A and B are shown apart, each in its own frame.
Chain A
């Protein structure tokens, strides 16, 4: 297989505090292939956004990468000096954040922001950059783009603003787009439009996408593979269809059961008892063991690694330990 576009190996992110070091990401590993859409799900505090922030080198201090490696197309990027990292960010990795109002500068017109971004990363004239900017806005579905480009962000509605942000993220033709809850602030009818635009335009340009969201529905319709995070650890990763229709990790099973759907007829939702542990109280062994229905002794003492389950799927759960090793214990 060709080298993956992005490869994250044993990523550890820590927050040193007065009362000890909190480990927010604990040995997280995954790859994103060329042109692939990887969904990243989990509850709040599971470390989804942190993974995105670590990749683009925008961890809020005191958070820091305490271990592991991040490779972008064979080049290691987690230890680049800030100046070099800045060139990777925007040029090679584009970003779309949750709230479009905070990712746009209210004091500059959309044209100024787009042209600045394009000219920072690509060596073109002002005129050429403007032409590209109009083309981009047109592509993300902003009507009368040539005229509206000179408007300020507040002239646009929420959905239109998020389109502008997508245009901005794609301005330098990045290889990877990290979209962190791109539709959470939007209404359902607009949400679908934005997801479609993001998916189409990335497919068109061959950009890979890391889609961070808590909305399984969005993942189901958009992603090729999905990674499930729990308490800073990878619980399960695999093709969307497998994970959604036949989840294997007890946490994913519970998560899927707890989502009400438009077609189900069950009277009660399956619920996972309790809540995700705080970072300073992650239990020994498997982090999910206090809430797990299938918990057994080994879960309480030993942390499960991702176990290959065939067909590109990996699950971090002792239930799926290959037989011969289970007998050794």
Chain B
């Protein structure tokens, strides 16, 4: 397909969490690895918002960091606009980096407190040499205007702003290199709901105006439902289901997705009795064999304890569960 902006194939990242060498010798322990992301495949089309949801430890942020090139994958490849990202080549990465940007969770940590807002926003412009001289100041003013602040705010320091305003500054900085693709890692989890609504609306407006593509990472299913076109659900580093947003919420295919949807507190006061969720996410260092979700799954079968399910096609996307009978996505090897 030609309109795919980013595709990820077999993306895997392992972290070495072994004890130091001598401890291993004396305590007779093996090296230990934590697999934060395992064999993740997905595509993001131009102009859409793709969301990754999952609980803490499910690998959301690890995947985001690999996509923006802050972490090197252990296996697998990332294609951006048809080209494979080459982590070894500095020049190739730099050329790509202008085209994607990132918005982080905590606007108190992501802005340098000693820099004026104008310099923070101008930095990507200067780094990539997009403009010179007075044009930079005008551009900064325009960007501040765009995110709902005023051009005179460029002279201020980040501490003079509230959380919501700082997140606006972070968005202005992300837009300053004129990217096509923005990775938003929990952009509103540090904000209050009324401010969250402002930021989410702003992100949507900007998307419409500039045709941006978003990868939205969040643990908040309502935010994800509101913002995205397609959703990927992660569990212990594996993608268990990918589906169109509307269908995912109406008809979740994977038992984990169903459980997650059930657990969201209900504002509609429908009085539905939620199915109590059993257990918690297991330790990712020694994940359960077979399907990682099987110890908590209400439909667990024998096969789930032995083999990892392959993703299969569903009405609205793909899901990896032994219960499903759709066509396997990958040809059997």
A contact set with B: CB distance below 8 Å: 43-44, 157-160, 187-193, 195-196, 214-218, 220-221, 240-241, 244-245, 254-255, 257-264, 267-273, 275-276
Contacts and interface: CB of A to CB of B under 8 A. Distances in A.
Interface in B185-221: 192-198, 200-201, 204, 219, 221
Contacts of A192: 262-263, 265, 274, 276-277
A52 B56 CA distance: 29
B310 interface: no
Given A216-B267, A217-B267, A188 B225 contact: no
B281 interface: yes
A269 B200 contact: yes
B-side interface mostly: helix
18 contacts: A43-B192, A43-B195, A188-B221, A188-B260, A188-B263, A190-B280, A191-B265, A196-B276, A214-B193, A216-B267, A241-B269, A258-B194, A258-B196, A260-B197, A261-B267, A269-B200, A271-B198, A272-B194
Interface string B246-278: 000100000000011111111111000010110
Contact of B193 (A216, A220, A264): A216
Given A43-B192, A188-B219, A262-B249, 18 more contacts: A157-B280, A160-B280, A187-B280, A188-B263, A189-B277, A216-B267, A217-B265, A220-B268, A221-B265, A244-B267, A245-B269, A260-B222, A267-B204, A268-B204, A269-B200, A271-B198, A272-B194, A275-B194
A270 B221 CA distance: 18
Nearest to B197: A258
Interface residues of B, number: 39
Nearest to A264: B226
Query: Which residue, of A196, A263, A273, has the highest number of chain B Cβ atoms within 10 A?
Result: A263
Contacts of A221: 265-266
Nearest to A192: B263
Contacts of B263: 188-189, 191-192
B324 interface: no
A264 B194 CA distance: 17
A258 B193 contact: yes
Contact of B197 (A158, A217, A264, A269): A269
A138 to B, nearest CB: 17
Contacts of B198: 271-273
A189 B233 CA distance: 14
Nearest 9 pairs of A and B residues by beta carbon: A217-B265, A258-B197, A260-B226, A43-B192, A187-B55, A269-B197, A260-B222, A192-B263, A271-B197
Contacts of B276: 192-193, 196
A220 B269 CA distance: 6
A263 B268 contact: yes
A264 B265 CA distance: 14
Contacts of A272: 194, 197-198
Query: Which residue, of B55, B194, B198, has the highest number of chain A Cβ atoms within 10 A?
Result: B194
Contacts of A270: 197
B150 interface: no
A41 to B, nearest CB: 9
Nearest to A143: B279
A70 B90 CA distance: 65
B286 interface: no
A187 B194 contact: no
A195 B194 contact: no
Nearest to B261: A262
